[in-house]
Structure 1
């Protein structure tokens, strides 16, 4: 037994449910094989994730959790969820619902608006009982039957499910003996990684044999205990270098290494630069005000002092560099939280801000009152070179571009024999409409660097996000379709309907299994680092073929 996994105060959720009218909006079953993923998606409704079986890494609005069979998780409206890695084949039921309460005067029901929640709120888990699991199967069966009467029956079963969940939450009384053994060992590492920890010691904590424990730990968390400990030590070393004037010798001792020279060698192998070079870069407090600016700065080998981070809008940077970036700005939908971001920068001013030239004038004025601002303009290679000249990192930019050209050359040699002049079109699907997706990052990388042939005349692109009806897509007759589906509820429901449309299934690329779904990240970002990742994804895409 345990407490419900929420991102937000669980007592508030219980209070809202107990005093509201619940209305189901959708029920779906998702199966993911080992190695699979579920892209981060935004939910407008309360979403219950019932995991019947499987194992992996679940990220709920920036919080990383262990996805396990027999557990339930809740994502609140306005938050995001996704599965980063599946270690053992997973089966989940997603139940979306809204809550309604009487409006002013008590005359009509109004949808309950969930507030933006504090990311520091506590988290927990609740066991998926057999009774709730059976109810979820019955709900799915009746929901997909297509009968209004069966949908009505779903409402009764769903209220029963909510009651069982609230009752279980009320009766929950977790103790340490009920804790997952691998999670217990990982928690011990998290609290003692500066010490010498033997594998046998961790196996004893988990109550498992040493060999079984080591295999199980690597399977669940994707790395050995030694690598996990080293990662924690290196991350803490970076934090100490940034936040304190400690000597390198003292930092090495603080994180668990008695030999500072061994620590320095390990640090360089881990991050690619020596501790002294890293310290020199960290002394420059440079803020980035967009994901594109972050991609420019990281290509120069400099980790930002401040950057926008979010698991959906900037998840790559959050996962890989979030622990190294002292000041986290909001990346929640472009332009939504700009005033709070400005306030954060004003309270802890950087030495320099990298910013997109198309930023709103009001924001520019506020940023310029905090620190010097460098605006990114022109093509992405120009942006990189200009930023490098400003920061004295011309050599780093030259080296990065040379490495990129070698990567592109390798990709072209791998892809060209496979596609043999076949045509491509890149589309985006949002809220029921297709549009031609031909932003500069697409045209520059796919049709420029990689030399792919566009099914749509690029010289006629007067509107880079031109809407296309299905009939127009059919006329293009592209050999390959790369499709970005917006990850939010309304679009995902309409995408399911499109996949049943005979006109869609008659497209040549769909018939010949040449349709590939592409994520918004890195494909939406215009930066050196994002383009490097796009080239990697294209090589992987065609290597699979």
Structure 2
């Protein structure tokens, strides 16, 4: 996947919000069927049995071991034949307008095959238990389970270089984010970014925030901070040298570090290395690929 598409997705996931309205486990008998146009989104996980799904005139097989995501507002009919029933975990949830539609525009699949069945069942069991709970922390635990479920779905999606192609807002932002990465050490002007996207500067700021989730200057500062963190972790360069490499003055980098991370750059480096040494684990990160 293009690095810029990955950045857009990561920022999108960072601000994704969803609220679970129902969660349960069902055993559906042979010849079960249902049809509707729901105003909520669904997750299904099929534990056993087989069936069929017709959504917006497209037919899909319902098979065990698969996780399904069905968007609100789509015409859905589904059921089983006369020979088999279905055992399934499911939940209904509501998301911000456009969130799930954006995922489907990005060619995310309706269903994925799960390789860790116990993990998915455990997530649904936690969700169901939280849904039935009267605890003060009910909504927090529901939200936690929903995010775990979404992460599991995304982990099983096969994202590739065509993800994002054909989506106007993604393709319009691609050259803008590439320009930022290539000129991160320079004084980046909003007017220049707007011209790359062929938009008026006043409109561009709102457009950028809608796609990326923050203003252009916040995004640039965020990228500089990430680069500074990496250099603090991986090199012995002085804080002043690192500030220069990421396009900031020394005092401004220190101020942003304190503001967003709660530590000075020097203290961050010290604590990072102490933690890495005590854990004995080589640092790394998983990436959407």
Scaled to the shorter chain, the TM-score interval is 0.3 to 0.5
